[in-house]
Amino acid sequence: MATLPRTRPRNRRLVSRNTVAGWSFILPNFLGFAALTLLPVVVLFYVAFTNWNVFGVAEWTGTANFRRMWDDSSFWTALRNTVYYAVFHIPLTLAAALGLALLLNRKLRGVRFFRTIAFFPYITSIVAIAVVWNQLFSPEYGPINALLGAVGVDSPPGWTASATWSMPAVIIVGTWRYMGYYMLLFLAGLQTIPAQLYEAAETDGASPWQRFVHVTLPGLRTTTFFVTVLLTIESFKVFDLILVMTGGGPGQSTLVLSQYIYQKGFEENQFGYASAVSIVLFGICFGITVIQFMVNKRRNS
């Protein structure tokens, strides 16, 4: 993108013309976005400093919610679990989605069919997913442990029925469910890479791996950036999948921040505190996103 010198006076008119043009593009979306998302989010920031029970008037309590959070061991457990999930889920899903997209970005017979199949985990009812995976993981009767037993694993893991293994189980299912979603984005990104680049690389005698590293990956950079940001945020916000898979248990072994927010808000009616926890979750996601933006910017220039 061409950089415009900022201070020259004759550009002032250009700036104001651009401002009008820019806003005219953004406005249709922004009106709806500002009224229906931004405004409630601003209210949320206010509520985080009150002890609101939803019904009455919110009473200002300053930073009390945040001080309470500091001493709340459940909050820290939820945070730790959320990070645990994200740290594994993000790279695994990224790799699986990219792998699927590369595999299915060719003119094979029936490729459309396979792509649809790859997207099925995302469209299948989440209840069915929880049921089937839980049964597959069932410690006593599940086929996964039967398989592990057959290859000589003495004490196979308890998966969703054990505090130690429930998170790995959830991560596996999370990756399985969302890889199709991100595959779709990678597929769109792959269409933007000019074929000449591949042809040129092939003429130069580049191996498939070299072509992948020197053509595909750089060509996918903006897509990868988008996918990483979105995937990071969605991983930190993970909610419904864990809710139906384990309900946060056993114990608190899979309790994540989003669920904790729901619990405090809707079950214990402490919306002020729940909002404060959301602000922290927001802060984490936002911080990481800003870092990703900065890294991306530096890499681009």
Partner 1 sequence: MTATDLSLPVPAVAAPGNHGTSARRVRSRAWRLLGYAALVLAAAGLLLPFLWMVVASLKTNNDVFTIPITWLPDPVVWRNYVDIWQRSDMTTWLWNTLLLSVIVTFLQVFTGSFAAYGFARVRFPGRNLLFLAYVGTIAVPWQSYMIPQFILMSKLHLSNTLWSIVAIQAFGAIGVFLMKQFYETIPEELSEAARVDGLSEYGIYRRIILPLSRPALASLALLTFTTTWNDYLGPLVYLRSPELRTIQLGLNTFISQYNAEYALIMTGSVLSVLPVAVIFLLGQRYFIEGVASTGLKG
Partner 2 sequence: MKRTILATVSAATALTLVLAGCGGEDEPADPNAPVTISLAGWSLSSTPEFKALADGFKATHPNVTVELKEYAPGNDYDTQMITDLAAGTAPDVYVMKNLKNFYTYQSGGQLLDVSDVTSGLGSVPALASYQVDGKAYAVPYRQDSWVLFYNKDLFAKAKVAPPDGSWTWDDYTDATKRLHTGLKGAGSNATGAYQHTFQSTVQGFALAQTPNADLLAGDFGYLKPYYERSLDLQTAGAQPTFGTAKTNKLTYQAQFGKQQSAMLLMGTWYVATLLNQRQSGDADKFQWGIAPAPQFDKSTTGTSATPVTFGDPTGLGINPKISKSKTAAAKAFLQYAAGPEAGKALAGIGITPAQVTDAATATLFGLDGVPQDDLSKFAYAKHTIRPENPVSKHTAGLQNLLNETHSAILSDSKGLDAELSKAQDRAKNEVLNQ
Binding test (CB under 8 A) with partner 2, winner from 102, 121, 138, 280: 138
**From the list partner 1, partner 2, none, partner contacted by residue 149 (C-beta under 5 to 8 A by kind):** none
Binding test (CB under 8 A) with partner 1, winner from 217, 290, 291, 294: 290
Matching residue, tokens 């599940």: 142
Interface with partner 2: number of residues (CB under 8 A): 48
Per-residue binding string, partner 1, 38-77, x by CB under 8 A, is xxxx-xx--x------x-----------------------
**From the list partner 2, partner 1, none, partner contacted by residue 147 (C-beta under 5 to 8 A by kind):** none
Nearer to partner 2, 101 or 256 (CB): 256
| DSSP letter assigned to residue 263 | I
For residues 176 and 232, what is the distance between their CA atoms, to the nearest angstrom? 16
DSSP 81-118: HHHHHHHHHHHHHHHHHHHHHHHHSS--TTHHHHHHHH
Give the footprint of partner 1 on residues 121-150 (CB under 8 A).
121-129, 131-133, 135-136, 138, 141-142
Paired strand residues for 60: 50
Minimal distance in Å, beta carbon 253 to partner 1?
Answer: 21
For residues 283 and 266, what is the distance between their CA atoms, to the nearest angstrom? 22
Binding test (CB under 8 A) with partner 2, winner from 81, 93, 160, 216: 160
Contact 170, 245 (CB under 8 A): yes
Cβ of 294: how many Cβ atoms within 10 Å?
Answer: 10
Minimal distance in Å, beta carbon 211 to partner 1?
Answer: 7
**From the list partner 2, partner 1, none, partner contacted by residue 200 (C-beta under 5 to 8 A by kind):** none
Nearer to partner 2, 85 or 137 (CB): 137
Minimal distance in Å, beta carbon 9 to partner 1?
Answer: 16
Is residue 145 close enough to count as binding partner 2 by CB under 8 A? no
For residues 227 and 94, what is the distance between their CA atoms, to the nearest angstrom? 8
Is residue 102 close enough to count as binding partner 1 by CB under 8 A? yes
User: Looking at 44-52, 148-156, 188-196, 216-224, which segment touches partner 2 (CB under 8 A)?
Assistant: 44-52
For residues 161 and 169, what is the distance between their CA atoms, to the nearest angstrom? 10
Minimal distance in Å, beta carbon 96 to partner 1?
Answer: 10
Q: Which amino acid, one-letter code, is at 281?
A: L
Give the footprint of partner 2 on residues 60-119 (CB under 8 A).
68, 71-74
Is residue 54 close enough to count as binding partner 2 by CB under 8 A? yes
Distances (CA, A) of 235 to 70, 241, 268: 23, 11, 25
DSSP 280-299: HHHHHHHHHHHHHHHHHHHH
